[in-house]
Amino acid sequence: MSPALLALAISTFAIGTTEFVVMGLLPEVARDLAVSIPVAGWLVGGYALGVAFGAPLMAIATRKLERKAALVLLMAIFIAGNVMCATAGNYWLLMAARVVTSLCHGAFFGIGSVVAATLAAPGRQASAVSLVFAGLTISNIIGVPLGTALGQHEGWRATFWAVSGLGVIALASLLALLPRQTPPAGDSIGRELRGLADRGLLLALATTVMSSAAMFTLFTYIAPLLLDVTKLSPEGVTGTLLVAGVGATVGNLVGGRMADAGIRRSLAITFISTAVIAAAFALTARSFVLAEITVFLWSAASFTAGPALQLNVVNHGHRAPNLVATLNIGAFNLGNAIGAWLGGVTIDAGLGLGAVPIVSALAALVGLAVSRLATAPALMPKPAHDATQAGAETHAHPASTTAAPHGHAAPAPAGLQALASDCAARR
């Protein structure tokens, strides 16, 4: 890995850690701030909504900046947001701090993907982008469990101070290791925005929303469920989060091969298996051994979706190539917020934590129905498919695709390689 790509991977590791570590600390945060578990769960949803709406806005706001400067600015926002989290005196200040932190998320991944592609040798753009997103995957295997353990023993604020420190390291790495690049040419935002008014693209984005909603209906409340239903200790919850992270990595690798064989079939298998396993978790959650096995299988099944979801959006988004990747991140995070809300409503309705997996399964079945509409042959744009087929075969392969456990897939969209070529020509 080149030093510049390492700097980007360190940054995405930090971002991935702060996004998801709250889920492991919900009981501690709720207790300290005197709020209920569902209300604390909205700290996950608030971050997700910030990403969903902030991703395209920040991408547009920073599009004229030199890319290194844009990434440095976004990482500075990340650090400031996490310091605000660590010092927040009440729930609403913490919520505001989470939203501030989230503003850097989508734009960083969008710009970082383009930068990675420009740094790569011809034909290696997708592999370079996958290395950047590797930081996000590793954060779920290492960062989230370690952050959860730190918060359980030293208080949840200590976790945010630690993540702030990670942000400082990432910022220093970007300043020292990332080369400057010529500011991007001014493509027509109006033309791309008009290209978003496509039924197939909207259905593809809706598929991403429902995939994420199904995942986060359960994932947001996994810590209290494991504590109250499975009767695990806090240390046991940390270990289970590690199991989930490993499952996510396995699922991503399998999902790459599945997407290579066909997006429509891949999404159908993912949604059906996720629904079945989530429903089974309602029965297995009371047994430690069965719960651990089910969490691994559910996590793996959920994260097989990443490559197919990304390629589905890319194939439909050929008229807005520079915005589709950012919009897919936004769609994923909108689903994240919806899932956190669904799980919270389930608990508040008196159905209990044990019913949350059932609601997750139902959301997955809705996602299955939407995916069948989005991938209907009549809606698949043949010109876009032809243009991206060669790239899809590379992007969907495990060696060059590293999706985050929240669906941030690494494949470089069709427009990304065009941007890379354009930037390389003007450097």
Residue-wise pLDDT for 190-226, tens only, equals 666 676 778 888 999 999 999 999 999 999 999 999 9
Output 40 or 134, whichever has higher pLDDT: 40
Check pLDDT > 50 for residue 155.
Answer: yes
| Domain regions of the chain by residue span | 3-426
Helix extents (H) in 220-352: 222-228, 234-261, 263-284, 288-303, 305-316, 324-348
Q: How far is Cα 362 from Cα 126, in angstroms, rounded to an integer? A: 34
Q: How far is Cα 66 from Cα 22, in angstroms, rounded to an integer? A: 33
Number of H helices, E strands in the chain: 20, 0
The type of residue at 320 is A
Half-sphere exposure of 410 (CA within 13 A, CB side): 34
Q: How far is Cα 420 from Cα 427, in angstroms, rounded to an integer? A: 10
Nearest to 136 by CA among 109, 100, 116, 160: 109
Q: Worst-scoring range by mean pLDDT, 126-135, 285-294, 337-346?
A: 126-135
Residue 199, token pair as written in the block: 């039924």
Check pLDDT > 80 for residue 403.
Answer: no
> For the residues 366-378, what does the mean pLDDT come to?
92
> In which region does residue 233 sit, left (phi positive, over 0), alpha (psi from -120 to 50) or beta (all else)?
beta
Q: How many residues does the chain have?
A: 427
Q: How far is Cα 18 from Cα 77, in angstroms, rounded to an integer? A: 13
- With b for 16 or more beta-carbon neighbours within 10 A and e for fewer, the 184-220 pattern comes to beebeeeebeebbebebbebbbbbbbbbbbbbbbbbb
Output the CA torsion sign for 361, 366, 372, 375. Answer: negative
The percent of residues above 70 in pLDDT, for the chain, comes to 83
Nearest to 307 by CA among 138, 159, 175, 130: 130
Q: Worst-scoring range by mean pLDDT, 141-145, 319-323, 393-397?
A: 393-397
Q: Which residues does 319 contact at the CB level (< 8 Å), separation at least 6?
A: 192, 194, 195, 196, 198
Nearest to 355 by CA among 9, 83, 13, 38: 38
Q: How far is Cα 129 from Cα 118, in angstroms, rounded to an integer? A: 10
Instruction: Give the pLDDT confidence score for residue 113 in this predicted structure.
Output: 76
CATH architecture, domain defined by 3-426 = Up-down Bundle (1.20)
Check pLDDT > 80 for residue 383.
Answer: no
Instruction: Give the pLDDT confidence score for residue 123 in this predicted structure.
Output: 64
Residue 250, token pair as written in the block: 């396995």
Check pLDDT > 70 for residue 173.
Answer: yes
Instruction: Give the pLDDT confidence score for residue 399 in this predicted structure.
Output: 32
Instruction: Give the pLDDT confidence score for residue 407 in this predicted structure.
Output: 40
Q: How far is Cα 121 from Cα 85, in angstroms, rounded to an integer? A: 40
Q: Can you give the C-alpha Rg of the chain in angstroms?
A: 20
8 A C-beta contact, residue 314 and residue 388: yes
The percent of residues above 90 in pLDDT, for the chain, comes to 52
Q: How far is Cα 178 from Cα 180, in angstroms, rounded to an integer? A: 7
Nearest to 148 by CA among 160, 138, 136, 137: 160
Instruction: Give the pLDDT confidence score for residue 158 in this predicted structure.
Output: 97
Mean pLDDT, the chain, as a whole number?
Answer: 83
Check pLDDT > 80 for residue 185.
Answer: no
> For the residues 292-304, what does the mean pLDDT come to?
95
Q: How far is Cα 99 from Cα 179, in angstroms, rounded to an integer? A: 29
Nearest to 261 by CA among 300, 215, 311: 311
> For the residues 152-167, what does the mean pLDDT come to?
96
**How many beta carbons lie within 10 A of that of residue 76, not counting itself?**
15
**How many beta carbons lie within 10 A of that of residue 323, not counting itself?**
24
Check pLDDT > 50 for residue 334.
Answer: yes
CA distances in angstroms from 206 to 118, 158, 167, 333, listed in the order given: 30, 37, 32, 12
Check pLDDT > 60 for residue 418.
Answer: no
